[in-house]
Structure 1
Amino acid sequence: MKSSSGRQRLTLGLVVHPDRPVLDSVQVITRYARRTGAAVIARRCDADRVGPEVDTVAPEEFADRVDGVISLGGDGTMLGAMRLVVGRNVPVLGVNHGHLGFLIEVTPSELEQALDRMAQGRYTIEPHSCLEAGDFTAFNDIVVTSAEPLSSLTLDLEVNGLRHGYYRGDAVIACTPTGSTAYNYAAGGPVISPSAPVVALTPVAPMSGISRCVILGKDDHIVLRNPSESVPLIFSVDGTPADPLQPRAGLSLRLRTDAVDIVRFDADTHLQRNRVKLSLLDLPLKPDQLVELIPQPLREQAERLRQARPADRPH
């Protein structure tokens, strides 16, 4: 990871999970910083989580000062780190202190080796897109629902200034390719390749109107409009509640490609891990495809053990 600002001293920024134990990883990073002469900073809100060896700065200063960001947590922490540096050409490395970690390649035990590989320039950059809705940025999805619990919503769809029908149901999901494996998939939407610069609009429990997923391109200007004269709707951004969608107001969405850069060391290994994680979503696989999910070293070890067993004796 090389400085994009031309400064002699590299500055690494830490973004940490609010309650999971990450101090061991922080210590690995600070040891690396002492060895290489790098600086390590975090936001003041994370001061109690990163310990006294890490300098802290005001949140509004953080993104301007870092040359690279390291996220210590799960996908939620990673999304927060990515959101801080949208459009800044600052690479983000994720270290998985969470559960599934679709976005994250490195485990805590691999962190020291990962830092060495970054110092040697032995990594690649994986661009990620996001959905922009005014001041809001979503890397997974934006979900519009009724403001009243257990009530349906009605929502109009406009694309490039033209009306394209309406939704009536429990919710409408607008997702990026990265977010297609989350709520979108649970609602029956498609799994989309990260290489496809598209937005998916998926209705949840549709009652009338548009009942299938609609795929739109990166240059399409999408508006989800509340047609009511008096009833507000609500929307969430990557699972976090945002502002109400007032009566007659429209939520303007646009896909921003190459919004942030994720550090990758071994794309094949990352994809293999994600195949295992996707299998937890009950994607239909044949028996031979299930075998392929087992890492090659484990398959070879199992075969050696099988061959080492004595042959069954006839009774």
Structure 2
Amino acid sequence: MHTVGIVLHPLRDSSEAVTAIVDWAAGRGAQVLGVEEEIRRLGCAALPVPAAELGGRSDLIVSLGGDGTMLRAMRLADGGHAPVLGVNLGRLGFLAEVDVPDLPDALSAIDQHLYTVEPRLAVDAEVHGETVTAFNDVAVVRVPGHGIAAVSLLVGGRPFVSYAADAVVVATPTGSTAYSFSAGGPIVSPSVEALLVTPAAPHSAFNRGLVLSVQDALALDVLPTSGRLAVEVDGRVSGYVEPGACVILHPRPAAAHVVRLGRTTFYERAQRKLRLMGSAEVEPAPARPRDGRSTPS
């Protein structure tokens, strides 16, 4: 491994992690690259490069932050060969693999090829002739004061189902634990290649989510009865659509690759993050004496 690219959280203190990476690289003659506007504030020894060049010039990209930073790092890695290692700064996320104290050992393991990668699905959305990419989700969301989101889902060019809702979320398996989950969608393993369509606060008679193949041609038609909608890409507003507009969706399997060192599984991370074991407490059965009669409470 000759070049390590770093992506920083915009607010959290990442100086300790950056120092660990720079020191590890210096001991092995490797170069550290960083997005120029991010690393200037640290004054570190990383070489500043434009964000668009980071993925193509790195052998590994290290994301320092939470899941939002990791999604940004995956977008920068999209189309390149560099896998992405998530380093947790603060709250436990779904995508981070190691904490800061474990970073030097993790880099050494990757340098020795003692790791695996998880391919992650992306979805490209065509809006007004422009293409935006999400690794979590693309959502069409009602704008306050402009009415509900009335949307028809097209599969293979033909209308399949219509929703009236506060939003319609199209999520990847990576995004199944984000907006889609909060709207009632299922948890889906990242190894599954599928897209989830989940209505948020549906007002229509049909209020169920869907799981669709990445081989299906998908689009969202904004119906005449809809209000103006915001198009959110990984939680950020990318633009707006009016009734009559169409958002065309193109899933791309293996658009980015996430480093795994075998320390935890997806299910263990989901269990901890979502507190699944404590989600349905069951009262213990009352003790029974040997004669079979219940013990009075």
TM-score normalized with structure 1 length: 0.83
Counterpart of 2:224, as a letter, is: S
RMSD of equivalent CA atoms: 2.2
Distance 1:51 1:271, change over 3 A: farther
User: 2:258 aligned to 251, 255, 262, which one?
Assistant: 262
| Corresponding position of 2:94 | 102
C-alpha separation in 2, matches of 1:216 and 1:269: 24
Q: How many residues are paired up?
A: 280
Alignment counterpart, residue 170 of structure 2, candidates 168, 174, 178: 174
Give the C-alpha shift of residue 129 in structure 1. Answer: 0.8
Sort the Cα spacing of 1:150 and 1:246 in 2 relative to 1 into closer, same or farther, 3 A.
Answer: closer
Tell me by how many angstroms 1:100 deviates: 2.5
3-state SS, counterpart of residue 208 of structure 1: coil
Q: Residue by residue, what CA displacement relative to the aligned partner does 1:152-200 show, whole Å, maximum 9, x if unpaired? A: 1211111111111311121111111111111211111111122211111
Match of 1:111 among 103, 115, 126: 103
The aligned residue for residue 150 of structure 2 is 154
Aligned residue number for residue 297 of structure 1: none
Change (3 A) 1:203 1:101: same
CA contact (8 A) 1:221 1:253 kept: yes
For residues 226 and 264 of structure 2, what CA distance do their matches in structure 1 show? 52
Letter in 2 for 1:195: S
- Deviation at 1:89? 2.1
- AA aligned to 1:121 is H
Report if aligned partners of 1:43, 1:62 keep a CA contact under 8 Å in 2: yes
- With over 3 angstroms needed to count, the CA separation of the structure-2 counterparts of 1:285 and 1:262, relative to structure 1, is farther
Aligned to 1:130: 122
**Equivalent residue for 2:197, pick from 201, 216, 219:** 201
Cα 1:221–1:282 shift into 2, 3 Å: farther
- 2:70 pairs, out of 71, 78, 87, with 78
TM-score norm. by structure 2 comes to 0.87
Gaps of 5+ in 1: 3-9, 289-315
The reply to whether residue 243 of structure 1 matches residue 239 of structure 2 is yes
- In structure 2, C-alpha distance between the alignment counterparts of 1:59 and 1:79, rounded to whole Å: 14
Distance 1:285 1:253 in 2: 40
Distance 1:177 1:119, change over 3 A: same
Equivalent residue letter for 2:21:
I
Which one has a larger percent helix, Structure 1 or Structure 2?
A: 1
Which residue matches 1:63? 55
Question: Secondary structure of the equivalent of 2:98?
Answer: coil
Q: 1:187 to 1:231 in 2, by over 3 A?
A: closer
Q: Distance in 2 between matches of 1:181 and 1:287?
A: 28
Determine if contact 1:165/1:209 at 8 Å carries over to the other structure: no
SS for the counterpart of 1:46 is: helix
Change in CA separation of 1:231 and 1:273 when aligned onto 2, cut-off 3 Å: closer
Retained in 1: the 8 A contact 2:55–2:78? Answer: no
Superposed displacement of residue 254, structure 1: 2.2
* Correspondence for 1:279: 275
Query: Which whole-Å CA distance do the structure 2 matches of 1:58 and 1:171 have between them?
Result: 35
Aligned match of 2:29: 37
Q: Using a 3 Å threshold, how does the CA distance of structure 1 residues 102 and 152 change in structure 2: closer, same or farther?
A: same
Q: Deviations over 1:113-168 (max 9, x none)?
A: 11111121111111111111132111111111123348312111111111113111
Aligned-partner Cα distance in 1 for 2:141–2:117:
35
- Segments of structure 2 that go 5 or more residues without pairing to the other structure are 285-297
Shift of 1:270: 5.7
CA contact (8 A) 2:220 2:247 kept: yes
Letter in 1 for 2:216: D
C-alpha distance in 1, partners of 2:279/2:43? 42
Shift of 1:40: 0.4
Distance apart, 1:51 and its partner CA: 2.3
Instruction: Indicate the percent of aligned positions where both proteins have the same amino acid.
Output: 39
